[in-house]
Amino acid sequence: PPMPPVQPQEIAHGSTTTGTDGSFQITFPTHPDPEIAPNNEPVFHFTVHADVTDLTGETRSAELGIQVGYTALQASMGANTWQEKDKPVTVTASTRSLDSQPLAAAGTIIIHRLQQPDRVHRGGLQRTRDGQPDLSSPNNWQLAEAVADKPFQTDASGNTTVEFKLAPGHYRAVLATADRFGKPVSALL
């Protein structure tokens, strides 16, 4: 599910002296937001801003973005929304580190048929109540039976494609893999 937007906040500040080679080290806490469940595989973004003043009083500034999460891998999938009836469906899978560097990974892609609602729902005309999903969109339909599954292996570029022969209908692809520490990583399409 999409993560709610969070307002930026300063979590640490201070000063230090660089080493003879101009480098410096800093530490800061990277506590996760307790309102976001770990099983949603959130990624928390931190930005380090540094202002360095040399002996002549000249100041240079730089910043560095750092991503931290519960897993060391992110996975995503893609496919064309509309498919032709007699052609295989090509699913692309991508695996990356939290800082968007390609990582090879292996796992499984499972294709589930979607459970259609028992009646037609009209988007925008029927309000959802009590937090119920808008069933006018197949994106909100529940998973039904698995109709196909295949293993995948992304290459050094972190990419691969897997083809499935499917009958006409609405489907959801579920990717399952693990990071280098064995923590589960998933993606939905």
| Percentage of residues of the chain with pLDDT beyond 70 | 86
The pair of three-digit structure tokens given for residue 185, joined into one six-digit string: 């990583």
Q: Give the other-Cβ count within 10 Å of 38's Cβ.
A: 11
Kindly report the average pLDDT of the chain as a whole number: 83
- Which residue's entry shows tokens 């909100």? 140
Tell me what pLDDT residue 140 has.
Answer: 73
Tell me what pLDDT residue 174 has.
Answer: 93
Task: Tally the C-alpha atoms within 13 A of residue 139's C-alpha that lie toward its C-beta.
Answer: 7
* 152-175: average pLDDT: 91
